[in-house]
Structure 1
Amino acid sequence: MRSDRRIGIVGGGASTVCLLDALARSDVGGGAITVFDPSPHLWRGRPYQRDVTAVRVNIAPEGMTIRSGDKGHFKRWLAARYPKAPGEDDYTDPLCGIKFIPRGMYGEYLEDSARDALVHLAESGWRVAVVRKQVVSADTSDDGVILTTADGDVSVVDRVVLCTGRGTPPDDYGLKGTPGYVVDPYPLTKTLRQVDPDEDVAVLGSGLTGVDVVLALAAKGHRGRMHMLSRSGVLPTVRQKPVSHQLVHFRPDELRDAALRGETVRLGRLVAMMRAELISAGENPATVLAELDSLDREDPTTRLRRHLADVDSPDRALRILQYAVPATGPDVWTLLSEETKSGLIRRHYRAMMSICCPMTAAAAQRLVELVDSGQLEIVPGVRHVAAAGEGFTFTAADRTTAVDVVINAVNPAVRSTSAMAKPLVDGLVATGLAQAHPRGGVHVDRATSRLTVDGVPDHRFHALGDLAGGSLFFTFGMPSLVDRARDIVDDLLLLEPANGLPAASTTLQTA
């Protein structure tokens, strides 16, 4: 690789940390790297800000590493930064035996990993700058890609990687600006200060964010009633005790090779492969089918109790599925026809997210305790939420209930574009440098994550994370981000600059 490569990275969250680490470990030196991010939580992103310890990641440490090919990277950081003293809480879930780290602590890991990567890059001859500004447009010229920030500063680079994240929750009921309405719960340590301990609270959303809000309220001694509201009432499943399993039929390496060859596979074939996987492991595929069938039929509290009771069940079927889908998701997705993809999103998206993004067992146990005490109600079928006098009302089934506070824990739309990145992405689409994907985000190439227009990849632009979700689907889990970051770095380092001009960027300003 030549020493005059100029790389611009738009966004500074977890996906960018994965990318910087992959670049640093490539042992290729020279060139310039500029990271653009105006947010107040650089490297951490929205999910991993400093927050209450009740808010935890829901994956074991080996699944949260930012380093490709090194599952022990995060565990070693934990051992070095937070050595366990005798009798000290090490965040191990007492029910399933897995260590679930507070999200704020994981944010520290991201910050440290970013700093280490920047130091390593500088030692390898890279010139690195962090510009704390929003990029609002990207144009092309013979000199490269021209990135313009909101205040008019210009930088010229050869390659751009869009790591723009997902943004903030939607305001589904138009309550923004209403006193007592919390539009975005994170960081909970700050937003929950405005909630009086005796107020009745409605939490919009029954996903992992909704669980976070309820647990954080309970941890700070909230005394008022809590209602977890959603249209579906579908909670995440409960993380079970880990089991060891090697995929033999639904193999990630074979599926990845098929995806790289551009093959198409019928859904029925993939279902047959998973069925064979389960049968070869001595498990009954009917277990998975029954779980999918119960999703819209079973009372959410009943389902929560059942899942909690199955934490140490000898049945491994769901655990095998939970391992296989994240491990193979982006590759499997590209093997399917567009019609099949749209059908899966329409009919089974909630089921896939519920099963493959489970809550911790300790969290489930605490929810059940709150339900049994009468303090928490899980309410499906919510039709309307509105301001009413000095509070709010919500309507579900045949009743209307009054509450004092509403906390918006609806997850940002997957494959959406953050408000901060929208001007840039919209501009790329308008000028024909990107193509909007009908399922959200933009079209990208499977092998390289390059942006594509009418199927033609552009070596100047890549996307990592949710912006690529329409094409790659499961792109927001850390293992998926790590894999895609490695693919992008391999592609970046394979190419020579389009011009022989020296690396330079105009008006670079670091924080």
Structure 2
Amino acid sequence: MREKKRLAIIGSGVSGLCTFNYLIKEFKLLNVDLNITMYDRNAMIGPGVPYQEDYDVLLLNRHSQQMSVFNEEPDDFWQWYKKKHEVYFSLDEFLPRRFFGQYLNETFHKSLKIAKDKNIYVDVKFDEVVNIQAINDDKFIVTSLKDRTEYDYVILCLGHTKLSDYYELEGNEKFIYDPYPLIKTLNNINDKEDIGILGSSLTSIDVSVVLKERGHQGKIHMLSRNGLLPAVRGNIQPYKLNFFTEETLNELLLKNNNEITLEQIINILSKECQYVGLNLNNMVYKRKHNLTPSQAIESDMKNLNEIGLWQSILMTANDVISEYWYYLNPNDKMVYLKKYERLFMSERNPMPILNAKKILEMLNENRLVVKKGIKDIKIINDQFQAYFKDSEEKYGYIVNAVGSTKYLHKSCRDQLLDHLIEFGTVKLNNYGGIEVDFKSGSIINANGKVNKQLKALGHITCGTYYFTSSVEMISKQAKLISNDILEHMSKIALVSV
């Protein structure tokens, strides 16, 4: 007798799609009838926010040959792109992001065909899920705006949480709370308006280069607390870690009561740098100390081999960084998040050199100014008044580019997360997002109980896994979660025979 199992994936962006693909790919259970339902509030499968149709100047921040929904096939996107008949770009290694969105959609339709061959029923509901109720820990009632359905397994793939709104500007028609897609949100801005962009990270770079392409004539200011721009992507090369490894971590855990310190991680990373002739302090701090934004970009562009080697170390460390983060001393986690994360992430998430050149040109022509030390923003006489330590500025528009919040405070939750937290179905993580079991991605409830049939991946697991937004890490986690669910499904089916 075949056991019927119903599974819901909440969210159909990159994390939801990667999970769906792996469930279909790895499903081999002859005694299970599998029914998968995908939910998404937007009528779109795959691209999510980052990879939807938008300007071609919005580039992938990672080499095209290292982008894939399948962790074991890192060049899957590249192979797909080479078969396309569209115009090739001058620097194919950093393609417009919309291409990856098209690739995501095509992989979904390929998986649908495989699902049909395996007799897996797939349903897609463009509907917003507002609550999930656990029944005896092995059944779940998923409530959406349109219906209520019972499932055996639920996977939360919610993408990014609500964006931060530090100055409580949401609701004002000239405050662009969510900037993407820029082709729509910037379309109605008069080209003579003065614009303030909140933040100075990669989203701010996107907004700035699009305004440049549109020929914007008003002033463009990045409003930042620290004024730190992302590094320029250097010449990335294959790299094998020598010290920052799982073996080193295991040795330290045996000696230190199953935890490590921030100082130990810094020492290991410093040793890794020294091995290839780099100085960690120079790479992270001294290289940009007291430099203006334009000088920092120029410095990076003069040293593309050196910073490329440094970035190669950081990229290769993706394989072990979650383990190091997981075992890091709790106090040191807080110290890192407060003092070092912004600096480290500016190195870890660099901008493509094409866009770096555009930003440098804008800075040198005074078309773009990075204003650091932002304190507050008020709305006065239908304009935005920004207050800095020693000055004030007025803007006609403010574009929010600060990204999603790590911490799910009441004001940062949507209706679904609010219900899950309120009823104890999930538990907040002290370092961001919700608590999940490190080995399986299973959600931990308010009583500390692990539910093997309720999973989460992506940004809402950032407190457990740290790096959760790169496609590489998402696909790795999606494979882990899918295999764990299929193994659990197999055991349950055997018991019921």
TM-score where L is the length of structure 2: 0.90
Residue of structure 1 in register with 2:366 after alignment: 374
Q: Which amino acid aligns with 1:161?
A: I
Residue of structure 1 in register with 2:13 after alignment: 13
Distance 1:319 1:341 in 2: 22
- Residues 453 and 485 of structure 2 are in contact (CA less than 8 Å); yes or no, is this contact kept in structure 1? no
- TM-aligned CA distance change 1:386 to 1:100, over 3 Å: same
- Residues 158 and 498 of structure 1 are in contact (CA less than 8 Å); yes or no, is this contact kept in structure 2? no
Residue 123 (str. 1) matches residue 126 (str. 2): no
Residue of structure 1 in register with 2:48 after alignment: 45
- What SS does structure 1 have at the residue aligned with 2:187? helix
- Residues 134 and 420 of structure 1 are in contact (CA less than 8 Å); yes or no, is this contact kept in structure 2? no
Residue of structure 1 in register with 2:438 after alignment: 446
Residue of structure 2 in register with 1:384 after alignment: 376
Residue of structure 1 in register with 2:154 after alignment: 160
Shift of 1:314: 4.1
Residue of structure 1 in register with 2:465 after alignment: 472
Residue of structure 1 in register with 2:164 after alignment: 170
- What SS does structure 2 have at the residue aligned with 1:268? helix
Residue of structure 2 in register with 1:329 after alignment: 321
Which is further off, 11-20 or 117-126?
117-126
Residue of structure 1 in register with 2:141 after alignment: 147
Q: Which amino acid aligns with 2:61?
A: N
Distance 2:307 2:145 in 1: 58
1:130-174 deviation per Cα after TM superposition (whole angstroms, max 9, x unaligned): 111122222233594233333361211111111111134222222
Match of 1:60 among 59, 63, 70: 63
- Residues 362 and 368 of structure 2 are in contact (CA less than 8 Å); yes or no, is this contact kept in structure 1? yes
Q: Which amino acid aligns with 1:115?
A: H
Residue 267 (str. 1) matches residue 262 (str. 2): yes
Distance 2:48 2:423 in 1: 29
Residue of structure 1 in register with 2:485 after alignment: 492
* Residues 418-437 of structure 1: pairs in structure 2 closer than 5 A: 422-437=414-429
Distance 1:412 1:125 in 2: 38
TM-score where L is the length of structure 1: 0.88
- What SS does structure 2 have at the residue aligned with 1:249? coil
Shift of 1:227: 0.9
Which is further off, 264-273 or 483-492?
264-273
Which is further off, 196-205 or 213-222?
196-205
1:41-62 deviation per Cα after TM superposition (whole angstroms, max 9, x unaligned): 3321112221011111211113
Distance 1:254 1:102 in 2: 38
Shift of 1:32: 1.0
Distance 1:103 1:415 in 2: 27
Residue of structure 2 in register with 1:241 after alignment: 235
- What SS does structure 2 have at the residue aligned with 1:411? coil
- What SS does structure 2 have at the residue aligned with 1:365? helix
Structure 2 spans left out of the alignment, 5+ residues:
none
Residue of structure 2 in register with 1:198 after alignment: 192
Comparing both chains, which one has the higher relative contact order based on Cα–Cα distances under 8 Å and sequence gaps of 6 or more? 1
Shift of 1:2: 6.4
* Residues 84-95 of structure 1: pairs in structure 2 closer than 5 A: 88-92=88-92
Shift of 1:489: 1.0
Distance 1:35 1:337 in 2: 38
- Residues 134 and 425 of structure 2 are in contact (CA less than 8 Å); yes or no, is this contact kept in structure 1? no
Residue of structure 2 in register with 1:228 after alignment: 222
Q: Which amino acid aligns with 1:149?
A: T
Distance 1:234 1:5 in 2: 50
Residue of structure 2 in register with 1:95 after alignment: none
- Residues 34 and 128 of structure 1 are in contact (CA less than 8 Å); yes or no, is this contact kept in structure 2? yes
- Residues 188 and 213 of structure 1 are in contact (CA less than 8 Å); yes or no, is this contact kept in structure 2? yes
- Residues 37 and 133 of structure 1 are in contact (CA less than 8 Å); yes or no, is this contact kept in structure 2? yes
Distance 1:166 1:419 in 2: 15
Distance 2:137 2:171 in 1: 45
Distance 2:449 2:190 in 1: 55
Distance 2:460 2:281 in 1: 35
- What SS does structure 1 have at the residue aligned with 2:474? helix
- TM-aligned CA distance change 1:284 to 1:151, over 3 Å: closer
- What SS does structure 1 have at the residue aligned with 2:311? helix
1:334-387 deviation per Cα after TM superposition (whole angstroms, max 9, x unaligned): 121222212111111101210101111111111111111121111111122222
- Residues 8 and 35 of structure 1 are in contact (CA less than 8 Å); yes or no, is this contact kept in structure 2? yes
1:102-151 deviation per Cα after TM superposition (whole angstroms, max 9, x unaligned): 12221111111122122212221211111111222222335942333333
Match of 1:113 among 107, 116, 138: 107
Structure 1 spans left out of the alignment, 5+ residues:
93-98, 502-511
Shift of 1:316: 5.5
Match of 2:297 among 304, 314, 318: 304
Q: Which amino acid aligns with 1:6?
A: R
Q: Tell me how many residue pairs correspond in the alignment.
A: 489
- What SS does structure 2 have at the residue aligned with 1:81? coil
Residue of structure 1 in register with 2:181 after alignment: 187
Residue of structure 2 in register with 1:280 after alignment: 275
- Residues 223 and 372 of structure 2 are in contact (CA less than 8 Å); yes or no, is this contact kept in structure 1? yes
Residue of structure 1 in register with 2:310 after alignment: 318
- Residues 14 and 48 of structure 2 are in contact (CA less than 8 Å); yes or no, is this contact kept in structure 1? yes
Distance 1:236 1:143 in 2: 44
1:237-284 deviation per Cα after TM superposition (whole angstroms, max 9, x unaligned): 11001223211222357759999xx94233333333222322222333
Q: Which amino acid aligns with 1:202?
A: G
- TM-aligned CA distance change 1:150 to 1:319, over 3 Å: closer
- TM-aligned CA distance change 1:31 to 1:382, over 3 Å: same
